[in-house]
Amino acid sequence: MSLRLETERLLLRPLAPEDVDAYCAMMAHPDAARFLTPDGKPQDRPAAWRGFATLIGHWAIRGYGMFAVVEKDSGDVVGRVGPWMPEGWPGLECGWGIAPERWGRGYAPEAAVAAIRWTFDRFPDLPRIISVIDPRNENSQAVARKIGQEKTGEAFSFWGLSLDIWAVEREAWLARFG
Ligand SMILES: CC(C)(COP(=O)(O)OP(=O)(O)OC[C@H]1O[C@@H](n2cnc3c(N)ncnc32)[C@H](O)[C@@H]1OP(=O)(O)O)[C@@H](O)C(=O)NCCC(=O)NCCS
């Protein structure tokens, strides 16, 4: 059976080629792109397509990756959330990105809880799940707090930026959300 996760308002399934339009539309929006692109600027379709290919390729290489987040009521793909650990990354991350038209509804934390539950189940020896967050990204820090992550004090340098590592330990997370 194909992989599907369900929450109260959302369906999560592995990102697939048919999600390319929704992904490129999100990455063309300045508010979505601000902390997701190397220069903080919106991406044109060719640049976003290459980023999308990386997300699809992550599934092929690692066997896990970002889920397309589908709003049950509309059937629309409203973002991508899920586990992510490209080569050189400081740990297994849960990442999130939601189309700005759907911000503020709690979709990112709702999807992240389902994705993290799946990830801890899939990797029984995984001690923690991190998120790599720009210190200026207040929205992302709010999501991290809602899903039980705390700032660890560790830093990770990427795209010339010093990024904070947030994390939640397996046992603490399972006690609250498992
Ligand atoms: C971070 C992000 C995924 C949050 O998604 P979301 O589904 O809106 O999450 P929430 O509804 O829980 O909102 C999180 C915070 O965003 C802020 N926010 C909510 N609606 C907002 C809006 N319309 N405009 C600006 N900020 C808003 C609030 O501070 C909120 O925290 P609060 O609920 O404590 O007030 C989303 O803002 C996003 O996609 N940002 C761009 C991509 C990104 O930065 N990803 C993370 C990289 S580390």
DSSP string, 114-132: HHHHHHHHH-TT--EEEEE
Q: Give the model's pLDDT for residue 25.
A: 98
DSSP string, 46-87: HHHHHHHHHHHHHHHHHS--PEEEEETTT--EEEEEEEE--T
Q: Give the model's pLDDT for residue 117.
A: 98
pLDDT tens per residue, range 3-37: 999 999 999 999 999 999 999 999 999 999 999 99
In this prediction, what percent of the chain has a pLDDT beyond 70? 99
- Return mean pLDDT, the chain: 98
Q: How far is CA 72 from CA 4, 46, 95, 100, 155, in A?
A: 13, 29, 21, 17, 37
Q: Around 7, how many Cα atoms within 13 Å sit in the side-chain half-sphere?
A: 23
1 pLDDT band, cuts 50/70/90, is low
Q: Give the model's pLDDT for residue 139.
A: 98
Amino acid in position 68: A
Q: What is the dihedral of CA 111, 113, 115, 120, to 10 degrees?
A: 180
Q: How far is CA 88 from CA 67, 91, 117, 131, 157, in A?
A: 21, 9, 24, 14, 11
Ligand 1 site residues, Cβ closer than 6 angstroms: 32, 35-36, 96-98, 103-109, 133, 137-140, 142-143, 146
State which of 66, 139, 158 you would mutate to test the pocket of ligand 1, scoring each by most atoms of that ligand within 8 A of its C-beta: 139
Class of domain 5-177: alpha beta
Q: CB of 49 within 8 A of CB of 94?
A: no
**Which residue CA neighbors atom 41 of ligand 1 most closely?**
32
pLDDT tens per residue, range 123-148: 999 999 999 999 999 999 999 999 99
Q: Give the model's pLDDT for residue 166.
A: 99
Q: Give the model's pLDDT for residue 37.
A: 98
Q: How far is CA 105 from CA 39, 71, 72, 101, in A?
A: 27, 11, 14, 10
pLDDT tens per residue, range 71-94: 999 999 999 999 999 999 999 999
Q: Where are the domains of the chain?
A: 5-177
- Atom index in ligand 1 nearest the CA of residue 131 equals 48
